[in-house]
Amino acid sequence: MSRYIIHFLISSVLLSGAIAGFNWWMDPYAIYHKQAPQQSQPLVVMNERVFKTVGLAHTPSDVVILGTSRADLGIGREHEAFKGKRVISLATFGQTIRESRRLMEVAVKDSKPKIVILGLDFFVFNALFAPPLDFVEENYSPSRAYHLMLSINALTHSWTVMRRKIPDESDLFDADGFRIPRSLSRLAGGYRESFSHNERSYLLEKYLPYPNCRFAFSSNRYGSSLEDFRAIVRLAHQQHIDLRLFISPSHARQWETLAISGLWQQWEEWKREMVRITDTEARMANAESFGLWDFSGYDDISTEVVPASGDKTTIMHWYSDSAHYTPDLGKIVIQRMFMPVTQDGWKTWGAVINSSNVERHLDHIRMVRTSYRATHQQDIAEIENTARTVGRIKRCPATP
């Protein structure tokens, strides 16, 4: 009997070693080999949280980018401000502010960046907004990379990579986590439909998600989103990191979608709270406050004309849908934050908000919104129609 046990143990060790070696060699999530994840693309894109949290967040860098899909899709690496620096993107779809905090803590410890750029999006500050399904707490374990070597799921993906059976319709990642998107020309003829679909998803799932259908800055399960933001700001002061904060630009239709959700007042309060936190933390650190750039609102960029339904030739320059901005606009975001005095065509776009100007800033947005609604009645009607459709199918708890 003991001989069988010995044989079994030896076979188990050899099998485990073979699985670990095969997963390491094929590297389906691009976390073991420090090169562009070419062979496993776009499998890496489908498992971006493994790629970025387990692998990339521990890579030495000068600049780290955090945020949701808006930063993931919109912030590229081609900027004069990044010249000569190692820049990595840890932005991921649906990244909650708590996840941004966790990623920053890992990056500060292992990646040791000098600059962190954080794109801020209102909907992920909802403490009732659940993390995406691919968020796995174990990804933050120091031993996660080793555990994945023995994962049967990873083995399946490794086999897929070896057989070259990966679909090629997705975007790609480079070795530093930046997306290499497909041409925006694929949207020609479908912008208005893409906008409406995006707005429907925000009304149905993101602004007031199931099962609570409410917005709150704190919850018993996920704690306080504003305190997570405070922790990010405090950590940056403690570690002498140059933290660049910006509220993401989105099309004006997205702000109308937010408003019809009944969240305009919370949106304004969110901005006030972030100003208060950045100013308070700066005073406590006896340091200058980090600039909080606001690129949201109504302006020449956010009111870009959405092509008519069926227009198969027009390509929008600044947006792919009402929430996501293009890399061309991302370049201007970086330009404004790092070189705001540069004489370019958008030298007055965006504003640094602080305790002394935030109320005037909010008043101005309300004023220009009134003008937008008066001149874009078709867009407003489409959003209202989408809201009515969502209202008929969305079942929320009755208000007590």
Written as one string, the DSSP assignment of 96-151 is: -HHHHHHHHHHIIIII--SEEEEEE-GGGG-TTSPPPTT--GGGGSTTHHHHHHT-
C-alpha atoms less than 13 angstroms from C-alpha of 95 in its C-beta half-sphere: 31
Rounded percentage of the chain residues whose pLDDT exceeds 70: 88
Question: Does residue 399 have a pLDDT over 70?
Answer: no
Mean pLDDT in residue range 263-275: 97
Question: Does residue 255 have a pLDDT over 70?
Answer: yes
What value, to the nearest 5°, has the Cα angle with vertex 388 and ends 384 and 389? Answer: 115
Given this model, what pLDDT does residue 400 score? 44
- What are the pLDDT digits (tens) for 339-381? 866 556 667 899 999 999 999 999 999 999 999 999 999 999 9
Q: Radius of gyration of the chain from Cα atoms?
A: 23
Alpha-carbon distance of 386 to 231, in angstroms, equals 37
Query: Is the separation of the CB atoms in 80 and 63 below 8 Å?
Result: no
- pLDDT-wise least confident of 48-57, 180-189, 248-257, 315-324: 180-189
From residue 184, give the alpha-carbon distance in Å to each of 191, 321, 327, 330, 394: 10, 11, 11, 15, 32
SS3 249: coil
- What are the pLDDT digits (tens) for 111-133? 999 999 999 999 999 999 888 88
- What are the pLDDT digits (tens) for 158-206? 777 776 655 555 567 788 888 876 554 455 558 898 999 999 999 999 9
Alpha-carbon distance of 71 to 248, in angstroms, equals 8
